[in-house]
Chains A and B, each alone.
Chain A
Amino acid sequence: MSDLKSTTGQVKVKEKSYQMPPQDGFTVAAFITVADIERSLRFYEKVFDGRVVSRGDKEGAPGYIEIANTWLIVNVGGGPTPDKPTVTLSVPPDPDKVSSFMNFRVADIQACYTLWRSRGAEFITQPIKKYGETRCYIRDPDGYIIEVGQSDPGVTYG
């Protein structure tokens, strides 16, 4: 636990505000390959109160959804493209083999579990207590897992 406490009080509040598109520096978004842009936009809009910024188009423009402090960008699979000549994008071939995922840190996990479930989110399990946090996972319409986690009181991040 010493590691968990070592960052206490070191944070300087920043004045910088992030926007999309960025006017300077950079802003971090997440991209997921989806089977149906409109279905994904509606899911993230309905469950998480996301704000749909663009619905994309058939010429390759992705869908954009503002969710809390970031943006989710969704598009259909394909490739390779000239800027990634060896890479192919597809929806998850095996939803149980995972490397990366969106991680939603919440202030009240029981409230989020109940609210998001009532809006149609499918949770793998109910919130389960573990080392340092309480946690559960949602499956999105393409099978991506979304972690939902609340840190124990006294944890200074996460």
Chain B
Amino acid sequence: MSKVQVEGKTYQMPPQDGFTVAHFITVADVERSARFYEKVFGGRILTTGNNEGAPGFIEIANTWLIVYFGGGPTPDKPTVTLSVPADPDTVSSFMNIRVADIHACYELWRSRGAEFLTEPKDKYGETRCYIRDPDGYIIEVGQSKPDLAYG
């Protein structure tokens, strides 16, 4: 079992009660993605899955990333097809990593092979930059200004 503590409460994977939120991305190569998230973010690979439908699971900080090949439709989503991003510049959702020290994260993650779109840039309320993962997903990396009570 895998578990994390968030604001004093413990969340487990799989959950023993209630629910635990993970993030799923469709990937071209489960092993490649698992290694990327392990190496760059210190993620812990729980499984690299198999070809019978079991996805890869990586524990990253307070959550889990679930990675698997595209396909479908399936009986539980009869109109939906999963694929890696068709156009990596047209985006609707992404993982958003909030950090305590963005310059330290930028240097460390870059040294581990992460490709950043730009260096950290100052904007309204925060400093921010983006990583491209091996399938072209963007990952936001952001540090809020000191007086912000969230984010």
Chain A residues with CB under 8 Å of B1's CB are: 11, 156-157
Give how many B residues have a beta carbon under 8 Å from the other chain's beta carbons.
Answer: 88
30 contacts between A and B (CB under 8 A): A13-B3, A14-B5, A21-B98, A21-B143, A29-B95, A30-B23, A53-B150, A60-B123, A61-B125, A62-B151, A64-B151, A69-B9, A70-B21, A83-B130, A84-B130, A87-B138, A88-B90, A90-B91, A98-B80, A98-B82, A100-B23, A100-B26, A107-B14, A107-B19, A130-B53, A130-B75, A150-B14, A157-B13, A157-B64, A158-B14
Q: Tell me if A73 is interfacial: C-beta within 8 Å of chain B.
A: yes
Q: Tell me if A105 is interfacial: C-beta within 8 Å of chain B.
A: yes
- Residues of chain A touching chain B, judged by Cβ–Cβ distance below 8 Å, are 3-4, 6-7, 11, 13-33, 48, 53-54, 59-62, 64, 66-71, 73, 81-93, 95-108, 112, 124-125, 127-128, 130-132, 135-137, 144-145, 147, 150-151, 155-158
Q: Tell me if B111 is interfacial: C-beta within 8 Å of chain A.
A: no
A96, B81: Cα distance in complex, Å? 6
B50-78 interface with A by 8 A CB criterion:
50, 52-55, 57, 60-64, 66, 74-78
Pick from A26, A89, A128: contact of B97, CB under 8 Å: A26
Q: Is the CB of B91 within 8 A of A19?
A: no
Q: Is the CB of A99 within 8 A of B83?
A: yes
Pick from A22, A59, A156: contact of B99, CB under 8 Å: A22
B1-43 vs A, Cβ < 8 Å mask (1 yes, 0 no): 1111111110101111111111111100000000000000100
Pick from A22, A25, A102: contact of B21, CB under 8 Å: A102
Pick from B21, B46, B97, B120: contact of A103, CB under 8 Å: B21
- Residues of chain B touching chain A, judged by Cβ–Cβ distance below 8 Å, are 1-9, 11, 13-26, 41, 46-50, 52-55, 57, 60-64, 66, 74-86, 88-101, 105, 117-118, 120-121, 123-125, 128-130, 137-138, 140, 143-144, 148-151
